[in-house]
């Protein structure tokens, strides 16, 4: 279990999990808007860079979600 989450209470973990899931959802919406709803023309290199950054952020959020869910499971929740 991630040391950061070991000392947190179940309530704190649940709040943190909700916050991170909201952040991930916001990131996904922003990415979808940027690439799907705008007519902004950006170069291929910039678009690839933005996509790489987006994927890295998603991985980071998903890793955090997984760590919190493991912490909750270790405490008998989830």
For residues 75 and 56, the model is more confident at: 56
- Residue 24 · residue 32 · CB < 8 Å: no
Q: Which residue has the tokens 């279990």?
A: 1
Q: In 1-78, which ranges are continuous DSSP H helix? A: 3-6, 10-32, 44-74
Q: What is the mean pLDDT of the chain?
A: 88
Token pair belonging to 42: 């950006």
Rounded to the nearest angstrom, the gap between the alpha carbon of residue 23 and the centroid of all alpha carbons in its chain is: 6
Q: What is the pLDDT of residue 63?
A: 96
**Digit-coded pLDDT (tens) for 33-69:** 887 766 567 777 888 888 899 999 999 999 999 999 9
| Residue 43: φ, ψ to 5° | -70, 160
Domain that holds residue 25: 3-74
pTM comes to 0.83
What total number of domains does the chain contain?
A: 1
């Amino acid at each position: 279990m991630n040391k950061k989450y070991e000392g947190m209470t179940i309530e704190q973990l649940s709040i943190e999990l909700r916050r991170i899931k909201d952040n991930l959802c916001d990131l996904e919406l922003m990415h979808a808007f940027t690439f799907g709803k705008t007519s902004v023309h950006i170069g291929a290199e910039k678009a690839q860079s933005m996509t790489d950054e987006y994927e890295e952020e998603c991985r980071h959020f998903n890793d955090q979600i997984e760590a919190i869910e493991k912490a909750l499971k270790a405490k008998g929740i989830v």
